[in-house]
Amino acid sequence: MVATVEGEVKTRGQGDARDLTPEVRAALAGAGLRTGIVTVFVTGSTAGVTAIEFESGVVSDLDAALERLVPRRAEYRHHLRWGDDNGSSHVRAGIVGPSLTVPVGDGQLLLGTWQQIVLLEFDTSARTRRYIIQMVGE
């Protein structure tokens, strides 16, 4: 069986994070999948999906770490080519990646105690993000 659910979430711009775990759990329950995998994918090239503890300290620490690795105010060739300011957004998204796959067992996401499925916004302004939840299994 394959089931697909799409959703949207509004973000506030670079550094914003949204917990998608409740939406993924609801999609899983609606599909009736007992065992298999769930993939969560964000469309667009300036956002990412990961599994972290969705807590303000961790979210802030991750944002600070990404700022050290990929500073927003650095010089990016992307800015020169397109005349915009989101070169860091594309690089951050490339590092984190657009999707996360989670195993399913006994109808439940097999996440660790402190793991949530989190969409990370890297673009420099607010966005409406479309995400896709695709479930495969039986």
pLDDT at 80: 80
Report pLDDT digits (tens) over 74-106.
989 988 888 889 999 999 999 999 999 999 999
Say if CB 131 and CB 19 are below 8 A apart: no
Q: Assess whether pLDDT exceeds 90 at residue 54.
A: yes
Q: How many CB atoms lie within 10 A of CB 4?
A: 12
Report pLDDT digits (tens) over 7-42.
999 999 999 999 999 999 999 999 999 999 999 999
| 2-137 carries CATH number 2.60.120.460 | yes
pLDDT at 79: 82
pTM: 0.95
Helix, strand or coil, per DSSP, at residue 97: coil
**Distance between CA atoms of residues 135 and 36, nearest Å:** 7
